[in-house]
Structure 1
Amino acid sequence: MAPMAVPRRKETTASARCTQKYAVGFPASSNASPLPSFHRFLTKVIQMTQLHTPKASRNQERGRLSFMDPVSPLLSGRPPRGEEPHSGPPATNRRGPGGTSRVAPCTFATVSPSKKTGGRRLAVASATVLSLSLIASATTAATAFADARSPDVPQSATPPAGMSAVGGELLGRPGTQVKLGGGVPVLPKDITARSWIIADAESGDVLAAHNAHWRLPPASTLKMLFADTLLPKFPRDETHKVTASDLADVGAGSSVVPISKGETYTAHDLWLGVFLRSGNDAVHVLSSMNGGVEQTVEDMQEHAGRLQALDTRVVSPDGYDAPTQVSSAYDLTLIARSGMQKKDFREYCSTVQATIPGRTEVKKGKKTRGSFEIRNTNRLLSGDSDLSPYRGIAGVKNGNTTNAGATFTGVAERDGRKLLVTVMNPEKKDHNQVYREAAELFDWGFGAAGKVEPVGELVPPQGARTSAGPSPSPAEGAGTAGESPAPAEAAAAPVKNGGSTGVGMALALSGAVLVLVAAGVFLVNRRWPLPDLARRRTRP
């Protein structure tokens, strides 16, 4: 069936553009230099003009009109779906010196991967190979500033006529791509985002998209790639004493947890700060633990390449506006899908509220360390004074900068169907517009799923192949270094130190479909389905 023609809307530029010219000598010249120090200087100058979620203002977006009944007991007092009310205190997730966390309730059912014809697979594979051949040089083993030295990506008012065809030829076309048929609802008419995508999180089918591969600034949604790259490296109870150098490169006006110099935090504390408060200070501390910002950016770029997120160029690990730092709605959705395969990622991105250690103070000759509460800035998850959380929402990440505008990637479930939605930079600048548009796209997706013909797919990571049975060495990459739990245990085994099992958004492995992560090779189901999502519990 041919795609239904959809009138193209007028596209507008973001409120600010980030362009850069580099004084680089001719490659054959002995004086040629990429001037990395100049690049860092210029990046800092640009950062000083940006307002990236300053202290819970830009990133703590508020107020989406409620489309569904609230599910968060923090706002409604209702028990989680599928649970009876209880009078006792909620379960607590305590981690010794670390904080406590609370996640929103939701029950997910299993969705089996759908079967596709060999012809469509061949078409998608051909498009992917073509795209790889065109941009492989920009994505293979790229480092932070090597990527930044690439030609600037212009922030035009309209998408380019030709974009990447990863995931299918239609996804490389500008404008809205959808194949409507009998019983399929009409797409919402008031979606103003420059780019968006709706995909089935289990099968990988892309139900509809608009400029899916348009390379745009991602803002803090890039933290999904940061977390997906670094979470497996640090046990959640690993501690780190913060130094001044750890925080030296945090951009002016950044969103912060805040993390205090001279204090000791667990990796668990820092990840809560990354996911809930979008804390750039927590990102930089974790980057320091990983060998520094440049090493972290290189790791992120390499991981993006493995995921086939080939529109993505990483310059700053926190998503702070920087020259040439771009991603796409397609890539961010791929990254979110990868992250949701990891138990700790699921738990952190679904946590509504948590307690973080504060500063140590001396009172009457005794040292005492206080604590403070932080709340998730994803308003489809945590809600606000003028909105209720979206029913079935399970994360993932929001962002907002001057150059990127508002960005959001979310995952939600309804009646056993799991969907991923990404929205980038709505033209309409009303308060919480990115959440309103994401909610409308979720509503359409749940109404259209199973009826609409896909326009493409979310491709699996490089090296992925069909695995019909159990893997001899499964690992879920839950952020607990050195552990490789058995498949059943990955869903139910408690985390060390009395922590949560991750059932906040525990995507337990579905049936016998396992994920093997060994020597950089992914053994997955061809459709790379998300594992089953289990019940979330509330924790004070």
Structure 2
Amino acid sequence: MIVSSFVAAALLLLPSAPASSATGPRPVEPVPPPVAVRADPALLHRAGTQARVPRTVAAPPRLSARSWLVADAATGDVLAARDAHRRLPPASTLKTLFALATLPGLPAERQHTVSEHELRGIGDGSSLVGVREEVTYRVADLWRGVFLSSGNDAVRVLAGLNGGWDATIRKMQATARSLGAHDTRVVSPDGYDAPGQVSSAYDLAVFGRAGLRNPDFARYAATPYAQFPAGRWSFGIRNTNRLLTGADGVRRYPGLLGVKNGYTTHAGHTLIAAARKGSRTLVVSVMNPRQGGAYAVYEEARSLLDWGFAAAPHARPVGSLLPPRAALPARAAAAPQPARSPRSPAAAPPGRPAPGAPPTDAVSVATLPTGGDGGSGDGSLLLPATFVGSAFLAAGALWWVRRRSTR
């Protein structure tokens, strides 16, 4: 069979009369589309505002907050940020990390009767939901106390159920690291002012995005009103996130999914907020506005959400909320893959630009080579090359035999 193949190949290679009709050109194999080079993650470590939008799109709003960030919650793409990694006190927005670390291990329907010692150590001036000793609560009740009333008393009880205050701190720190939130240092799980306790607009947005992916977290964060047990009776509580409830003269934001607000003397006002409009969900974080009063944090978050929804279809990311290991760029020699949609949840996160790439304030595009890594290195081309060489030899032999026969 192999000899027959050689002969057939040789006959094809023999000189022949011109063909009566010319064959058309070989179809060109499709070339993979260009792959966008995502933003250098170091861009978010720069001071000032970072954004990449065409001139036809408005620049991000000028805010008084010391630090802020707006990102696409589905892809993790950061659309714009200011001093994203600046370490500042987080106040009660740190409760989002507390929830991420402890929610999975505490069944919502579990019941617990609070003892006196569980409420010790609560800081002076703390926000409280009204947990009382000798009263039995469901874990779900306590979580509503955390999310709606920012109750440090509820945090104390849940931390006790989670293994204790110190164990909860370690778990929160480990959770932050696993999410790629390296600016956060936990000292007090409830967010109460403590020396050395810091986070950043970047980390808070990471926590908010991760929370939206947890159904229990998302449900508690979006609850505007609830009843809180008090023994034989209960009382109403209201979410302190004014963008969610529309309280105190703050207009409710359409499509708001909630998340968490906070305030301490040292931190000022802080907020993580998320909203959905059509098929897009945005998450924003705002830390310590310096103008506009107690409710400025909500209005500045509103401005970021408005800008984000308008700019998202045109903006190029300046970073990613994805964990570092997921943000590693693909091996340069890897075979090209079809480009993903910028809004795809599986879109490749940012990596450092290749040498010679355009500056990070420009939209960088790189076309991957169409030939893979330049060779398989496993001898897979050896056999076809052998067949071709043999065919040429066979063709030469047949031509020589025909020449002699003609003579």
TM-score (norm 1): 0.54
Instruction: Say if 2:307 is the partner of 1:444.
Output: yes
Q: What is the distance in 2 between the residues matched to 1:118 and 1:414?
A: 26
Cα offset for 1:385?
Answer: 4.2
1:184-223 equivalences under 5 Å are 184-189=57-62, 191-223=63-95
Q: What is the distance in 2 between the residues matched to 1:527 and 1:380?
A: 32
Which structure has the highest helix share of the two? Answer: 2
Residue number in structure 2 paired with 1:383 = 246
Instruction: Say if 2:169 is the partner of 1:297.
Output: yes
Instruction: Say if 2:176 is the partner of 1:313.
Output: no
Matched AA of 2:47: P
Cα offset for 1:458?
Answer: 1.2
Q: What is the distance in 2 between the residues matched to 1:119 and 1:388?
A: 39
Q: What is the distance in 2 between the residues matched to 1:343 and 1:116?
A: 37
Instruction: Say if 2:123 is the partner of 1:251.
Output: yes
Q: What is the distance in 2 between the residues matched to 1:282 and 1:116?
A: 52
Q: What is the distance in 1 between the residues matched to 2:239 and 2:266?
A: 23
Residue number in structure 1 paired with 2:42 = 169
Deviations 1:275-325 (A, max 9, x none): 000000000000010111001001000111100100000000100000100
Residue number in structure 1 paired with 2:53 = 180
Matched AA of 1:261: E
Cα offset for 1:234?
Answer: 0.9
* 3-state SS of 1:351 partner: coil
Instruction: Say if 2:212 is the partner of 1:340.
Output: yes
Q: What is the distance in 2 between the residues matched to 1:385 and 1:403?
A: 23
Cα offset for 1:464?
Answer: 8.8
Contact 2:327/2:348, CA 8 A, preserved across alignment: no
Q: What is the distance in 2 between the residues matched to 1:335 and 1:259?
A: 26
Cα offset for 1:431?
Answer: 3.0
Q: What is the distance in 1 between the residues matched to 2:240 and 2:143?
A: 14
Instruction: Say if 2:293 is the partner of 1:420.
Output: no
Instruction: Say if 2:252 is the partner of 1:392.
Output: no
Contact 1:171/1:211, CA 8 A, preserved across alignment: yes
Matched AA of 1:174: A
Matched AA of 1:414: K
Counterpart of 1:431 (choices 290, 294, 302) is: 294
Contact 1:196/1:424, CA 8 A, preserved across alignment: yes
How many percent identity over aligned positions? 50
1:38-437 equivalences under 5 Å are 117=35, 119-120=37-38, 124=40, 168-189=41-62, 191-359=63-231, 369-437=232-300
Q: What is the distance in 2 between the residues matched to 1:413 and 1:526?
A: 20
Structure 2, unaligned stretches of length 5 or more? 1-32, 330-343, 350-407
Contact 1:306/1:462, CA 8 A, preserved across alignment: no
Q: What is the distance in 2 between the residues matched to 1:358 and 1:461?
A: 45
Question: When the two structures are aligned, how many residues end up with a matched partner?
Answer: 303
Deviations 1:242-285 (A, max 9, x none): 11111101111100001001111010000000000000000000
Q: What is the distance in 1 between the residues matched to 2:318 and 2:121?
A: 42
Residue number in structure 2 paired with 1:163 = none
Q: What is the distance in 2 between the residues matched to 1:204 and 1:437?
A: 21
Q: What is the distance in 2 between the residues matched to 1:387 and 1:463?
A: 38
Matched AA of 1:421: V
Cα distance 1:454–1:175, how it changes in 2: closer, same or farther (>3 A)? same
TM-score (norm 2): 0.71
Q: What is the distance in 2 between the residues matched to 1:406 and 1:299?
A: 26
Matched AA of 2:80: A
* 3-state SS of 2:233 partner: strand
Q: What is the distance in 2 between the residues matched to 1:204 and 1:117?
A: 18
